[in-house]
Amino acid sequence: MIKVGIMGGTFDPIHIGHLILAMEAINYKKLDEVWFVPTGNPNFKQDKKVTDKLTRYEMVKLSTQDNDKFKVCDYEIEKSGVTYSWETMKYFRENYEHDFYFIMGEDSLISVETWENAEDFLKNTKILACIRRQEENSKLDEKISDLKSKGYFVEKIPTSFIDISSTKIREKAKSNQDFRYFIPEKVYEYIVRNKLYES
């Protein structure tokens, strides 16, 4: 049985922090692959403007194509309606005989119990969590302890602090600042060529 990490996200745009986290998850848990799953119509961003799903999907493909352990899954892109993590993980469990791990940052883990059908998600999903901001380290440790005390599988990935966000990258692009080193070169060229995020 192969071990697969699942990295869901809007990826608007995908950046090196996402790729480093995927790599660190592979190193830590000896994963065979990490599947990037761009959200189609994310439930938590219904009130925000999100870049077209096929554009985001294309950027994820460009950023992962030179690593044979990285795969891109279009399940949520192809799915109609709002996408939820518990449904996605249920789909993977029912259609693949793999050992799945869901990879997330501390901000997601801290709010995970407020997610749609959170109990089903937590009960049936192995979670690998990482810290993105050093000041949130103790808060993440407390949350992991709390979730483990409830019988859920959560482990912390030892990783570098990578405080990069897609929001910061979009803001830099909009204000005409250079942002090329926050993202893979092919994604940078794609954004510039297609004038994404310009005001």
Region of residue 7 (left: phi > 0; alpha: psi -120 to 50; beta: else):
beta
Per the prediction, the chain carries an average pLDDT of 93
> pTM (2 decimals)?
0.94
pLDDT at residue 44, rounded to an integer: 59
The residue assigned the tokens 């990879």 is 103
> For the ranges 13-17, 25-29, 45-49, which has the lowest average pLDDT?
45-49
**162 touches 17 (CB < 8 A):** yes
Stretch 145-164: mean pLDDT? 91
- Report which of 87, 71, 85, 79 is spatially closest to residue 31, judged by C-alpha positions: 71
123 CB-near residues (< 8 Å, 6+ apart): 151, 152
Cα distances from 126 to residues 6, 67, 81, 154, 155, in angstroms, run: 10, 24, 25, 6, 8
pLDDT digits (tens, 9 = 90+) for 105-114: 998 999 999 9
pLDDT digits (tens, 9 = 90+) for 33-42: 999 999 988 7
pLDDT digits (tens, 9 = 90+) for 69-103: 999 999 999 998 888 999 999 999 999 999 999 99
pLDDT at residue 131, rounded to an integer: 80
Q: Where are the domains of the chain?
A: 3-164
Residue 55 has pLDDT above 90, yes or no: yes
In the 8-state DSSP scheme, what is residue 134?
G
Kindly state the tokens that stand for 88. Answer: 């996605």
120 CB-near residues (< 8 Å, 6+ apart): 86, 90
Q: Which fold has domain 3-164?
A: Rossmann fold (3.40.50)
- 146 three-state secondary structure: helix
Cα distances from 158 to residues 26, 28, 105, 170, 186, in angstroms, run: 11, 7, 12, 28, 28
pLDDT at residue 43, rounded to an integer: 67
The two most distant CA atoms of the chain are separated, in Å, by 49
Stretch 47-51: mean pLDDT? 78
